[in-house]
Amino acid sequence: MRKSLGGIFIEDHYHVPHVCKECGGVMVFKGVGEYHCEKCGAVDYDDYGKVRLYIESHRGATAAEVEAATGISQRSIRQMLKDSKLEVMDGSKVMLRCAACGQPIRSGEFCPRCETKMHRAMEAAQREELKRDMKGYSVSKNGEDGQRRFMRS
Ligand SMILES: [Zn+2]
Ligand SMILES: [Zn+2]
């Protein structure tokens, strides 16, 4: 959902509380998904704040447990992890797995090893392309050295 605030459009997919449930006052953002009513001081949270709060007091909670407790869908929770808004904490049961090898990861989409592997594959493909472009030149002599230099950087 998009909301217009003074001509500025902001994405509101975390269900930001705008109005106080207690008194109807304006909810003021206090950071990390927390909002305080400027009139009565009531505290409320957006989806990110709710998930964060729950995980902080329930270390090791699974995505399913967080969903059951907060009412926020596992899909949204995963999106927060992908946005790197959230990180799976130490000692937590796995909430995210690498999309390539299935290893548990803390945030993002791939584990560092698969991410590196993917980059290496892209680099190798790029090198092949370069080699094809250089057909007719002698690349076999310094090809090995060139590759080593690439790997080190
Ligand atoms: Zn209020
Ligand atoms: Zn992986």
Quote the radius of gyration of the chain (alpha carbons, Å): 24
Mean pLDDT computed over 27-52: 91
pLDDT in tens, 50-105: 988 888 888 778 888 899 999 999 888 888 877 766 766 666 655 677 888 988 88
For residue 4, how far is its CA from the centre of ligand 1 (angstroms)? 23
Q: What is the pTM of this model?
A: 0.54
The CA distance from 108 to 79, in Å, is 9
Q: Domain spans of the chain?
A: 1-45, 47-110, 113-152
Ligand closest in space to the Cα of 42 = 1
Please give, one letter per residue, the 3-state secondary structure of the chain: CEEEECCEEEECCCCCCCECCCCCCEEEEEECCEEEECCCCCEEECHHHHHHHHHHHCCCCCHHHHHHHHCCCHHHHHHHHHCCCCCCCCCCCCCCECCCCCCECCCCCCCHHHHHHHHHHHHHHHHHHHHHHCCCCCCHHHHHHHHHHHHHC
- Tell me: pLDDT of 126 over 50: yes
- Average pLDDT of span 132-152: 54
* Ligand whose nearest atom lies closest to the CA of 24: 1
| pLDDT (0 to 100) of residue 8 | 46
Closest-approaching ligand to the CA atom of 36: 1
Question: Which pLDDT band holds residue 19 (cuts at 50, 70, 90)?
Answer: very high
Q: Contact 82/98 with Cβ under 8 angstroms?
A: no
- Long-range CB pairs of 114-122 (<8 Å, 24+ gap) are none
